[in-house]
Amino acid sequence: MPVVEIYTKGFCPYCWRAKELLDAKGIEFREISVDFGGPDKQAMVQRARGRTTVPQIFIDDRHVGGCDDLMALDRAGKLDELLAA
């Protein structure tokens, strides 16, 4: 099972949507809250190559992007391939 990490904020509807998709697929993920900035937010921005919006999603340290990117991968049938690796 791949390691899935998702950086989120509590009141972000895009974060909720991304987590709902992962939950629907039965994928366990590590949620990292960046509501208050700090070192976790700095790590997210560095890992996401400057992106500051949430969610930022990583599968086995590969940056997938945000919610729209995750949904696009799913529609293209490529998300299941990444999650099966």
pLDDT digits (tens, 9 = 90+) for 23-80: 999 999 999 999 999 999 999 999 999 999 999 999 999 999 999 999 999 999 999 9
In whole angstroms, what is the distance from residue 46 CA to residue 28 CA?
Answer: 23
Residues sharing a CB contact under 8 Å with residue 38, sequence separation 6 or more, in sequence order: none
Question: What does the block give as tokens for 19?
Answer: 């987590």
Q: How far is CA 78 from CA 18, 57, 63, 70, in A?
A: 15, 15, 14, 10
In whole angstroms, what is the distance from residue 52 CA to residue 83 CA?
Answer: 24
Stated pTM of the model: 0.95
**Residue ranges covered by each domain of the chain:** 4-84
Which CATH number fits the domain 4-84, given the four candidates 3.40.30.10, 3.60.15.10, 3.30.420.40, 3.40.50.300? 3.40.30.10
